[in-house]
Chain A
Amino acid sequence: MRVDSRSIRRWMPAALLSIAMLCGASAWAAEGGGEKKDLVLKGDAVCTRCHDEGEEKPVLSIGKTKHGTVADSRTPTCTSCHGESPTHINKPEGVSERPSPDVNYVKDSKTPIEKRNETCLNCHSGSKRMFWSNSTHAQEDVACTSCHQVHTQHDKVRDKTTQPETCFNCHKDKRAEIERPSRHPIKEGKVACSDCHNPHGSAGPKLMARDSVVATCYSCHADKRGPFLWSHQPVTEDCAICHNPHGTTTPKMLKERVPFLCQECHEPGSHQGFAPSLTPYPKNNGMPQPDVVVARGCMNCHTNIHGGSSPVNSSGARSLVK
């Protein structure tokens, strides 16, 4: 049979186009229309066939995170955290709404919070999360995912600049306090809640990052640690007796303006009972005085209020004026 080369030339492009389309289609079928490949985690194809980034619950960004670093043999799979979820993957007959995964972390999840947290604690129970089970947050039924976003590269609560927003979701009084003029640089992202508190539980009170309030404060303010020759008792017991570290309208984050603050402890045996006044009076005659309230207040004279180290032969040194 004689083949007309002109005819071949005519049909060849169409044939090639057809073959190409078939190849493309089969490739598409292999990747998207049929068996899907895992995209990030081992076995995630069964999930990512639906949960791509255009879906209501996107999941792929887990790949940007430590949980998506598959070279680390400890990296979980989708089912490590969400359970096998057979009815979620294959919707049972006669069910109108697809059942949720076995372990679900959304806001209105029916999965008990303890069970949700257990998933995280399976891997994250040592180190700084050692005391989670005894923490106030655990007892208040706070879910790990109430604070942490797992499927995102930028977990807000792990970023100093955005962390307070997460904490303020519950601790609303602190949101107003950090805006006050006497405060730590929390708004500027230089101090975060977790610099002082360990939200995962600690051996200290108030979820303090270290074993006590004073030990936590001394980590940045070691000049207040002493021991001093002349000590001021609250400095060794609890800084929060005098200070509100979240912010106040009183200088030095004091909880109350001096002399009122000092008068909450000091008996008026000497000058300690002076009423403050903005009108200058002669001194030492039992009348209201300005220098206990103006400028540094009591600390105009008792300048080493956190403790003194003067060995001078004078009882005044003990009064923290030296």
Chain B
Amino acid sequence: MKIRQEFNFPLTAVAAGLLLAFGPAHAQESEDVARLIHPDSSVSAGVGHVNGDTGFFGQYTGQKDGDTDLNADVDVNRRDDATGTWLRVKGRNLGLDNRDLRVEHERQGNWGYFIEYGELKRQDPLKFITPLGGRDSTNQSINLLKSGSPASEFEPSTKRESVRLGLDKTLGDGLTVQLRFRNEEKDGTRNFGFYNAGASPMFISEPIDQRTQEFEATVGYAGKKLQLSGGYLGSFFHNGNNAIHLNANPGVLTGYWADPNIALAPDNQEHGLHLSGGYNFTPSTRGTFKVAYTRGLQDDRFYRPGITGQTSLDGKVDTSLVTFGLSSRVSSKLSLNGTLRYEDRDDKTPRRRYFNVSPAYTGSGFNNDTSRTNVSGKLDATYRLPMSLSLIGGLEWDERTRAVPESRSLNWRSRTEETSARLGLRRSLAENLKGSVSYVHSERTGSSFKETSLHKLGDFYSFGDFLGQTPRFINPIHWADRTRDKIKANLDWAVVEALSMQFVAQYSHDTYDSIGGSSFGNDKGRGAKYSVDATYRLSEDAQINAWASRDDTRMRQRTIMGYTFTGPEVPWSADLRTIGTAAGIGAQYRATEKLRLDAQLQWSYDRSEYDMTGPGVTSLPDITYRHVAFSLTADYAVRRDAGVKLQYVFDKWKTNDWTWSESIYGDGTFLDADPNQHTNFIGVSAYYKWF
């Protein structure tokens, strides 16, 4: 026994020694390596509480004052290394109204499929007090607050629920097939309006019951030189609500608007075929193309027949697209890049008369032709200079031709063309100072304007011309003759190893020409944007970053009042300006091996100015928005694979926005909104990771 004891003890010691010396080391090493090279997974669950005003904060999360929500995220990534088969499950915000869940199964390089479910709630930050009846339906009752109808709170919101399915198959020899299907249901309400002729507008609600479906099938080929992709995309929109029918006591709805119906968005669908490709002519020259043809259809039944018995529009719009691109590194110093693009929208909808015309009205009674052709081209050149510099030059041309309606409610231009030239200098591949500066000059012009017309009194009559008054033409902003100058610069500077900075500045100036000597219309625009960013690594465990930006856009425009033609004409102008200033600072700190802290503070101040001048005109007050957001996240790793997170968010909004401050509705609907909103959120969650 003694011998056995003597013998036994040293063997145990050896085993323990071996284990101590190698076993754990091997086990540890292999686990460490496995942890580093195999996909990891995580799951977290927790609870969060919100208090305060959530108009802005909860706009897209559905969170409201006093809500305590259980929440969970999941991110599972499993791979069978032998076959390269993945199973991924990703869920986010599973306890909130903006949840997402995706399950994906894939044998990499062979086949794959997924299913995805998502929700998105959009809560209107506005809360209405309204006597409107049937606000969730297509039959709504207009009641008058002043007549004693009771009012109640109405908080419009919409919710989207979507399901996506996907299937991928690699067929070999570079061939792939991809199928996608999406179904999205959108329900809810949003604020709407009803024109009560000669009286104040009425508040109504738009009931939403919509479905959008998309189906896409794509076949792809990818070879060394040639790549192709072609397929079909079908999109189908269905609206469960055809029209809103309004009810009211006699005399409430006035004039020829007494038809108490408002049509809602019609069902429509689109079918498209496309083929795109790329070909590498040489290692340094590549050509690309795309051709696409899409047919849009709309034959939804009208809520009532038209005057000649039409029951639907029979809408048909065909869109064709052809693009070509060529890029080439012509020499070691010179690269060229050019594209040509042709897009044609051919509106084949039959033109029919839908209302009987009135001499003094701009409408003809016929629906309009919305056809348009857009041809554009671009050529860019880059020439490499010494010291990592490149000289950049480019030319761009864009021509748009539009169908002109027989009679118009604004000055119409059948053709516009814009030419731009660009010159710049860029420094890349440098160690500590990179950047670019560029200047763009654009000129837009086009055909003569066809002025607002009065049906039956001849075409192309301006109201001003017709009445022998001063022409009051307005140059529509996207068609007007315009000269634009734009300069842009950016700098990326690694000051020292621990500190990097970025600067961006952009300034543009637009000048618009008037039509036919008119003193009205768009005059000048200006935009300036600046920003600076800095990131500083204090140590291995701490980093701070800060940024500030400012944008300032201005637009000067002029128009004139004179509704009845016989009254006085009152010209007036507005110098519109929007200034946005924002700054942020963030810090990440690994306080201990187990504790990580992340803090973010952001501040912004936006101001809109109107600066209106003219006889009897008083400028609107400025509108300002101030926003402060602070978040602090503490992540404590209890173990290597598990931990706890604590998050606190403070969100503050302050505004003097007067948009909804006064009731202009004939039914007396008004808004109840707090211009100062403070929100606190605190959440705690536990997570577990594995591989």
Q: Which residues of A does B touch, CB under 8 Å?
A: 9, 12-13, 16-17, 20-21, 24, 27-28, 39-40, 53, 60-66, 68-74, 107-110, 112-114, 125-127, 130-131, 133-134, 138-141, 153, 161, 169-170, 172-173, 175-177, 179-181, 185, 187-190, 203, 205, 211-212, 215, 218-220, 222-231, 233-234, 236-238, 241, 249-251, 256-257, 260, 263-280, 283-288, 290-291, 293-297, 299-304, 306-319, 321-322
Contacts and interface: CB of A to CB of B under 8 A. Distances in A.
A130 B257 contact: no
Given A249-B578, A265-B476, A133 B37 contact: no
10 contacts: A9-B6, A126-B220, A227-B296, A237-B402, A256-B576, A257-B623, A288-B561, A294-B661, A295-B664, A314-B259
A189 B609 CA distance: 32
Contact of A188 (B60, B316, B665): B60
Given A139-B337, A228-B266, A266 B474 contact: yes
Nearest to B438: A140
A157 B396 CA distance: 30
Q: Which 9 A-B pairs have the closest CB atoms?
A: A63-B37, A71-B84, A13-B10, A301-B195, A126-B222, A126-B227, A311-B306, A223-B265, A222-B237
Contact of A264 (B39, B200, B522): B522
Contacts of A176: 549, 551, 580, 582, 604
Given A13-B11, A228-B266, A267-B463, A296 B191 contact: yes
Contacts, number: 478
B633 to A, nearest CB: 14
B363 A318 contact: yes
Please report whether the interface of chain A is mostly helix, strand, loop or mixed according to DSSP.
loop
B629 to A, nearest CB: 8
A190 B14 CA distance: 60
A275 B662 CA distance: 17
B52 to A, nearest CB: 16
B664 A64 contact: no
Nearest to A266: B410
Contacts of A251: 659
Contacts of A203: 276, 290, 292, 321, 323, 341
Interface string B332-371: 0000010101010101010000111110011101011010
A313 B354 contact: yes
B150 interface: no
A88 to B, nearest CB: 18
B327 A127 contact: no
Given A131-B325, A190-B120, A237 B60 contact: no
Contact of B474 (A109, A230, A260, A268): A268
- How big is chain B's contact interface, by range? 35 or more
A185 B120 contact: yes
Given A61-B36, A113-B428, 18 more contacts: A27-B22, A141-B390, A172-B504, A176-B604, A222-B210, A227-B268, A236-B372, A237-B402, A257-B659, A263-B474, A263-B559, A275-B570, A275-B612, A294-B659, A301-B201, A311-B302, A312-B304, A322-B262
A178 to B, nearest CB: 11
Given A181-B56, A227-B349, A231-B368, A188 B262 contact: no
Nearest to B570: A286
A302 B192 CA distance: 10
Nearest to B11: A13
A31 to B, nearest CB: 8
Given A249-B578, A257-B608, A295 B14 contact: no
B327 A219 contact: no
A110 B388 CA distance: 10
A61 B32 CA distance: 11
A20 B657 CA distance: 80
B679 interface: no
A312 B193 contact: no
B302 A125 contact: no
B339 A108 contact: no
B567 A286 contact: yes
B687 interface: no
B152 to A, nearest CB: 19
B278 A125 contact: yes
A278 B662 contact: yes
Nearest to B617: A275
B1 interface: no
Contacts of B547: 172, 175
Interface stretch (B74-82, B139-147, B589-597, B639-647): B74-82
B664 A138 contact: no
B561 A303 contact: no
A64 B361 contact: no
B664 A256 contact: no
Nearest to B566: A286
A304 B262 contact: yes
Nearest to A235: B370
B627 interface: yes
B84 A181 contact: no
Contacts of B197: 316
B564 A284 contact: yes
B331 interface: no
Contact of A9 (B7, B349, B357): B7
B444 interface: no
Contacts of A173: 504, 506, 529, 531, 549, 551
A310 B355 CA distance: 10
Contact of A141 (B256, B428, B520): B428
A267 B382 contact: no
B533 A294 contact: no
A113 B428 CA distance: 9
Contacts of A227: 268, 296, 298, 313, 315-317, 347, 349, 370
A308 B192 CA distance: 14
B27 to A, nearest CB: 13
A314 B222 contact: no
A87 B228 CA distance: 39
B282 interface: no
Contact of B60 (A185, A278, A280): A185
Contacts of B648: none
Nearest to B362: A269
